Structures are given as structure tokens and as C-alpha cells.
Structure 1
Amino acid sequence: MDVSIVLTMLAVGLILGFVGAGGSGFIISILTLLYGVSVHVALATALTAMIFSSLSGAVSHYREGNVSLKSGISVGILGALGAWIGSNLSSFIPEGELKWLTAGMLLLSGVLLWLRMFLFSRQQKERTIPTGAKFVVYSLLIGLITGALSGMFGIGSTPFIQLGLMMVLGLSIRQSAGTTMLVIIPIAIGGGMGYYQQGFLDIPLLIQVVVGTMVGSYIGAKFTNRVPAPVLKTSLVALPIFSSFLLVI
């Protein structure tokens, strides 16, 4: 086991726990920039590691009543399929081009997070959730699209999923945040399986990343309530944008 990777991921986990984000893009950037890990292996590692971080978050949100099980399970199952497809397609993209594409997706996710927090923060009223055929079709589209993005670029697609749940399935901001954590679990599993089949999933590296980030996130989360909300919002938006620049250095 490379102790330096564990310690670096511990520091990364402190930041992610403090900000309250999955941070797969940040992990990808650190692995490629500091340790020379190929972008395909970094994508596989970061996406699969989200299984563990999202699981604890989903349980916490469920206990708080912030999870729509019907929406989360429907979108998540289809998201797993999309992630598996996306991870297989990723293997056909040259490493240099994949770095730029992933950086672009991280930059876009930062913009969408800004839109989600600052433009939709006042929309507290819950909308009517579609039923029947509409619900099935909408869930299919959200799951396949966000899952494919996650699988292909190794990112959690949090802002994409949240916006889909709010704008299309009619969930409130609070529900969309909690349900997204549930959706990411099967997406991470599907994407991880696809990368494993392609030979890109490095299990020892994954263990080191998971150990470091989980311990760091647990400690970092204790500092979240000690800073003003605007600082947290700014940090959450800045993290994927900063990660996108690190990725193409």
C-alpha cells in the first residue's frame, strides 16, 4: 500500500467532507496530476469510490425524510445501465481527448451547481410528480443520460441529476439533494462494473482512495457548520471548476 496516496486522499477527504461534495472530479485530477495515473484508471477509481461515499449520505438523507424512493430507484436502476454503457464507450476515447472532455464536464457541472443553488434556491414549493407512462419515460431519460455521463467521464453528475429530479420529476430542492445520493449508488456500481470489465479498475488503488477519503470526509464534515453558508456555496461551485483546470495542466 502506498502510504502517500492514502495521506493525500485523507487531505482530499477533508476538503470534500467540509464542502459536502462527492468530489470525484477532484480525485481524478489529483490522481492524474500527482501520481501519473492514466485518466481511464483515475475515472474508474473515482467513480467506483462513490459507491461508499454516497451510501452513507443516502442513509442519512433517508432518515431525514429527504429521499423519494420511487424516483430514486427508478432513475438509479436505469442510471446503472447508462453508466455501464458510458464506461464501455469511454475506453474508445483517446486519453488526451478524454482529459479535455472530462474537464469540460466538470466545468459545466460547476456552472449547473451555481444555477441550482443561486437561481433555484427560492423554489421551495413541491411540484406534482408525473405518474404512469410519463414517469417511466422521464425516469428513463434522466437515468440513461446522467448515468452515461457519469460512466463516460467518471463524474457523479450530481448537478445534472438534481436538475433532472427538480425540473422534470418535480421534486423539491431538499428531496432532489437526498434522492441524488440514492441515484448515484447504482450509477457508481454500473460504471465500476463496466470499467472492471475493460481492465481499468485498479483494486489496490481503489482501496487506498476509499480509506483516505472516507476518514478525511468524516473529519472534514465536522467543520461544515463552523463557517458561513455563502462560503460553503462558493466552495461547492469552485471545486469542480478548479478540478477541471487541474486536469488539463
Structure 2
Amino acid sequence: MASRPETLRVDRGRMLSIGVVGGVVGGLIGGGSGVLFVPALDRFTNLTRAQVHGTSTIANVTVCAAGAAVYGLVGGSLDLRAGGGMMVGGILGGVFGARLLARASERVLRGLLVAVLLLTAAKLYLDAAGLDPTRGAPVVPAHLLDDPWFVIPATVAAGLVIGAWAGAMGLGGGLLAVPTLVLLFGVDLHTAAGTALLVFVPNALAGGIVHLRQGTASLRIGSLMGAAATPGTVAGALLGLALGDVVLGVVFGTFALTMAVREIVHLRR
């Protein structure tokens, strides 16, 4: 794929600052750093649109790795029952997602994101107000969640879909993985955040490698932002663990609603 030259109009300090802020967001809510990385790269570099998504994917590798480490070592907030299957699916999805970018309609991908974000925001706000009609119960019946013959294929399928979307868009899988873990599999929000970060370490690696091979990523810029994101991710994850369930739910719900509105405006344009 043809690319614009990497004699980039890149402000190193600006890229480092964006990396830190994106890391805080990713660590706090279990992903979503790409929501900052993608528009920043699009605005402040002369990378092509495909390279923007690929470069964001590379930067997300360290966000996922550092955040998962903090949640696992400090809070013990990881669910390997659901996360294991999603990780397998996410690896496959990361490979296909990078290739999907050149074929799939970005409008469809963004439409899917908007629907999930609005549903997530509504549930988390209802939870915080004590008005959730499901009383926190997952969509999937409890007896199925105890059946490995259901959980394994279901989580692999979920990881495949989310991984493909994340690999294509470079936005980080947490925006879809966290709601999926909470709504479908009944995982609490803190555990969902840590698990989502762990799940998408190999996904981001796989997607980043494919992007580099097909020329749709800048290793130099992605590595720069990823290095800066590490301390921000640690700080964000520690903050997320310190917040109560209700407060974290409101934070994530507000973020989800803001991103949904942003995507709707983008689609209308």
C-alpha cells in the first residue's frame, strides 16, 4: 500500500503527551486509548488513514500489557474463565481485522460501536441509580455460564468479533470487550476492565504485526506513543481500582455516551 513519507510533521513532545493521556484512559476503563490515539495521529501527522489505525494498534500493545499487569498484580481483577476464550478469538480477529480495514465499511463498524456504547451507558447509569431491571444479572442465563461447552465457544466467538473490529479500527478492544464481559457474562466492572486489557495484548500484537507487514503502520511513532503510555496506563489502572463500582460505572458510562455521540456526529458528516 502506498504511504506518505515518514518525514513526518511530528511533534515529539505532543506525541508523548498524547501517549500518556491515552494510557490513563486505557488503564482506567480497560481500553479505549485508541479513541484518543486515532484522531490525534490523523490531525498531527501526515500518515494515511490506514496507517493511523495501524500505528494506534501498535501503541495499544503497551497499554494492554501494562494495564493487565496492574489489575492482575495489584487488584487480582482478572477473569480467565471468560478471558481465555476471548483471547483466543481476539488473536484470530486481530489478524483478520487488519486486513478487514481495506474491505469493510467503516460506517458499519462505527454503527456497531455506537449501538454497544449506548446500551452500555444506559445499563451502567441504571445500575448506578439502582434502577437496573435486570438487577445486575447477565443476559446469558446462569446455568449456561456454568457450562464449559457453552462458555468456551461463546467467548471465542465474542473475542473473534471484537478482535476483528479492534484490529481494523485501531481503537482498542476494551470499548467492546468490557461491555461484553459485563452484559453477557456477568463480570463485575473492575474485573472486566483488567480482563479486557489482558485479552487484547496478543490481539494488539497480532494486529500490529500484520499492519507493519502490509505497510499500514509506523513503528517509530507507535513505539514512541506506546512508551509514553506505560506510566499513564499504570496511573489509570490504579485509579480505576481505587474507585468504587458505582463511581467507576458512572465514569465508564459517561465515557461510553461521549464516544457514542462523537461517533454519531462523525457518521452524520
What is aligned with 1:76? Answer: 87
Q: Of 244, 251, 255, which aligns to 1:236? A: 255
1:115 corresponds to which of 109, 114, 122? 122
Q: What one-letter code is carried by the residue in structure 1 that aligns with 2:17?
A: L
CA distance in 2, matches of 1:118, 1:178: 21
2:156 corresponding residue in structure 1: 140
Structure 2 equivalent of residue 43 of structure 1 = 53
Partner letter of residue 196 of structure 1?
A: L
TM-score when scaled to structure 2? 0.73
Q: Which residue of 2 aligns with 1:183?
A: 199
**Counterpart of 2:5?**
none
Contact 1:54 1:185 in 2 (8 A): yes
One-letter amino acid of the counterpart of residue 177, structure 1 = A
Contact 1:61 1:178 in 2 (8 A): yes
Q: 1:193 to 1:8 in 2, by over 3 A?
A: closer
Q: Aligned residue pairs: how many?
A: 244
Would you say the 8 A contact 1:166–1:176 is kept in 2?
yes
Select which of 23, 33, 58 maps to 2:43. Answer: 33
One-letter amino acid matched to 2:203: I
Which shifted more, 189-198 or 143-152?
189-198
Equivalents in 2 of 1:28, 1:174: separation in Å? 25
- Cα offset, 1:238, TM superposition: 5.7
Q: Distance in 2 between matches of 1:62 and 1:222?
A: 11
Give the direction of change, closer, same or farther, for the CA distance of 1:104–1:5 in structure 2 (3 Å limit): farther
1:237 CA displacement? 3.2
- 1:202-241, Cα deviation, whole Å (9 max, x unpaired): 1111122223333555677888889xx5884576236635
Question: SS at 1:199's partner residue?
Answer: coil
Deviation string 1:116-157 (CA, Å, 9 cap, x unpaired) is: 532345656785633321112211211111111111211213
- Taking the TM superposition and a 5 Å limit, the aligned residue runs for 1:1-249 are 4-11=11-18, 13-14=20-21, 17=24, 20-21=28-29, 22=31, 23-63=33-73, 64-92=75-103, 98=106, 104=111, 107-108=114-115, 110-121=117-128, 129-215=145-231, 229=247, 232-233=251-252, 236-237=255-256, 240-241=259-260, 244=263
TM-score w.r.t. the length of structure 1 is 0.78
CA distance in 2, matches of 1:6, 1:82: 33
The residue matched to 1:67 in structure 2 has which SS? coil
Amino acid aligned to 1:202: S
Question: 152-161 vs 113-122, which deviates more?
Answer: 113-122
Contact 2:181 2:192 in 1 (8 A): yes
**Cα deviation 1:137-180 (Å, max 9, x = unaligned):** 21121111111111121121323212222333332333222211
* Unaligned stretches of 5+ residues in structure 2: 1-7
Contact 1:10–1:216 (CA<8 Å) still a contact in 2? no
Looking at structure 2, the residues matched to 106 and 36 of structure 1 have their Cα atoms a distance apart, in angstroms, of 26
| Cα distance, 1:70 vs structure 2 | 3.1
- CA–CA distance in structure 2, aligned partners of residues 136 and 44 of structure 1: 29
CA distance in 2: counterparts of 1:104 and 1:34, whole angstroms: 26
Q: What CA RMSD, in Å, does the superposition of the two structures yield over aligned residues? A: 3.5
SS of the residue aligned with 1:72? helix
Distance 1:167 1:212 in 2: 32
Instruction: Please say if residues 95 and 167 of structure 2, whose CA atoms lie closer than 8 Å, have aligned partners that are also in contact.
Output: yes
